[in-house]
Chains A and B, each alone.
Chain A
Amino acid sequence: MIVFTLNGIGQRLDVDPTLRALDVLREHCGLTGPKEGCGTGECGACAIWMDGVTRLSCLTLAGQLHGRAVTTIEGLADSWDENEATDTTDQPPLHPVQTALAERGGVQCGYCTPGMTMVAAELLRREPNPDRAAIREAVSGNLCRCTGYHKIVDSIEDAAETMRKKR
């Protein structure tokens, strides 16, 4: 039995622990945010957090989730405490990185976006004021075939500023 929390909610899964975490999240837990781009660690589309640290779910086994707090893009907004106080609309709350990517043209087809967002949000938690070089380094394991990266880096810079103001 694999026991862990997924976006804050307790889970008990009776699955083969050597299945990929990516498959278990998508197929058993119904969360299709983590994407499979390559399945070999090259693209970052499958990135999730395990205990707040970015992890490639295509190279993680289901059994490794046991005892962990797992966050996917579906639960990222809730990890940003400021949302509770400011959420006054019917829209589901977004993490500042999500908002910035949407507003600054950091999303085109969107396939890379969940992984990119998880990686960027981890960076901003550790390092509230990164320079562009640090941002580029942080997302260097995330491939995007659409945007050319500049707008993604711009978006993350914007999100950092928003988060610094709210903190």
Chain B
Amino acid sequence: MPLFLPTDLSETLALLADHPEARIMAGGTDLLVRLRAAGRTPGTLVCLERVAELGRIEALETATGPAVRIGAAATITDLLRSDTVRQRLPLLHRAASAFAAPTVRNAATIGGNICTASPAADTLPALHVMNASVELASRRGARILPMPHFVTGPGRTALEPDEVLTGVVVPVPRIFTIHHFEKVGQRQAMAIAVVSLTAMLAVEDGRIRDARLAWGSVGPTIVRCPEAEAILRGSRLTLTALTEAARAARRAVAPISDVRATADYRRQVAGNLLLRLADLPGRKPGS
């Protein structure tokens, strides 16, 4: 079976248009595991690893302010080693450090993580709270979609058969003072999230001016909770406010029971993780 190794984007798009049966492979860490589990051979593959323009990470200015553009074939290791990501997108950097282990990170790409569209995908909550958009291209043209419009369900995306995800554009968060990511897994390394919370808070003079929250692994896709965000907005960052927001969060999530945890456990922990925001290192209790 052919394995194509295009070296630029136009060649990639031509291959996809000419081989409708072809599948895209980036790092292969989801695709090859899935095919093997199903007992299937790979078939025709278009591998993105040598498309240089898909591997770039760059800071840019947009009409709405500074942003970072990350090529879809950038690996999780690339994210971890990028000063731009560490300095401007600390949440994505945290998510990358909690991702699998270095062996997997060297192959796994951010584009593959987005396209797999797993509720447990570790980069997705950060991309959601930062209002990231994805760039898609095919020989028919290019388009941009906000994250929530692209990932539509577990394993489901708005990707057309001849399209490739070329990159993700992430606006640099500016007013936010707290960037928090916590992943609960069954062990420390190589653990798929049982529940994760990603939070950005803008705290000014002790009051929360803005809050953005996203949970992983507690619904068919990433779960946002506007109600919990509204409870936090305008209040002080206290255990009382967080407890109320946690109650709203437990109502908003729609977890399932699986081999890793029960739905009840996930619901409980989804709320509990919010309480942790009260005692982050470097904050005085109740301040």
Which A positions have Cβ atoms within 8 angstroms of B? 16-18, 20, 39-42, 44, 47, 53-56, 59-61, 63-64, 66, 119, 137-138, 140-142
Question: Beyond A18-B41, A64-B47, is A39–B103 a contact (Cβ under 8 Å)?
Answer: no
Q: How far is the CB of A55 from chain B (nearest CB, A)?
A: 6
Chain A contacts of B27 at CB under 8 A?
59
Question: Beyond A18-B3, A141-B100, is A60–B188 a contact (Cβ under 8 Å)?
Answer: no
Chain B contacts of A41 at CB under 8 A?
29, 33, 100, 103-104
| Nearest chain A residue, comparing its CB with the CB of B34 | A40
Whether the pair A141, B189 counts as a contact (CB closer than 8 A) is yes
Chain A contacts of B107 at CB under 8 A?
55-56, 59-60
Whether the pair B3, A44 counts as a contact (CB closer than 8 A) is no
Bound CA–CA A73/B25 (angstroms) = 27
Whether the pair B41, A40 counts as a contact (CB closer than 8 A) is no
Question: Beyond A59-B107, A60-B107, is A138–B102 a contact (Cβ under 8 Å)?
Answer: yes
| Nearest chain A residue, comparing its CB with the CB of B50 | A67
Q: How far is the CB of B82 from chain A (nearest CB, A)?
A: 16
- Residue in A16, A42, A61, A138 whose CB lies within 8 Å of B28: A61
Q: Would you list the 7 A-B pairs with minimal beta carbon distance, nearest first?
A: A141-B101, A140-B189, A141-B103, A63-B3, A17-B3, A18-B42, A140-B101
Chain A contacts of B188 at CB under 8 A?
140
Bound CA–CA A56/B27 (angstroms) = 10
Q: How far is the CB of A44 from chain B (nearest CB, A)?
A: 5
Bound CA–CA A141/B189 (angstroms) = 7
Number of interface residues of B (CB under 8 A): 28
Bound CA–CA A61/B43 (angstroms) = 12
- Residue in A56, A60, A63 whose CB lies within 8 Å of B5: A63
| Nearest chain A residue, comparing its CB with the CB of B37 | A40
Bound CA–CA A60/B42 (angstroms) = 12
Bound CA–CA A119/B105 (angstroms) = 13
Per-position 1/0 for B91-117, Cβ under 8 A of A: 000000000111110110000000000
Q: How far is the CB of A16 from chain B (nearest CB, A)?
A: 6
Chain B contacts of A137 at CB under 8 A?
102
**Would you give 16 A-B contacts (Cβ < 8 Å), ordered by A?**
A18-B2, A18-B3, A18-B41, A18-B43, A41-B33, A54-B102, A55-B103, A56-B103, A56-B104, A59-B28, A60-B28, A60-B107, A140-B189, A140-B190, A141-B100, A141-B189
Indicate whether B140 reaches chain A with its CB closer than 8 angstroms: no
| Nearest chain A residue, comparing its CB with the CB of B104 | A41
Bound CA–CA A56/B36 (angstroms) = 15
7 more CB-based (< 8 A) A-B contacts, given A41-B29, A54-B103 = A18-B45, A59-B107, A140-B188, A140-B189, A141-B100, A141-B104, A142-B101
Bound CA–CA A60/B29 (angstroms) = 9
Chain A contacts of B259 at CB under 8 A?
none
Whether the pair A64, B101 counts as a contact (CB closer than 8 A) is no
Q: How far is the CB of B201 from chain A (nearest CB, A)?
A: 28
| Nearest chain B residue, comparing its CB with the CB of A119 | B103
Chain A contacts of B5 at CB under 8 A?
63-64, 66
Whether the pair B2, A141 counts as a contact (CB closer than 8 A) is no
| Nearest chain A residue, comparing its CB with the CB of B45 | A18
Whether the pair B103, A44 counts as a contact (CB closer than 8 A) is yes
Chain A contacts of B100 at CB under 8 A?
41, 141
Chain B contacts of A17 at CB under 8 A?
1-3
Chain B contacts of A47 at CB under 8 A?
103
Whether the pair A142, B106 counts as a contact (CB closer than 8 A) is no
Q: How far is the CB of B66 from chain A (nearest CB, A)?
A: 30
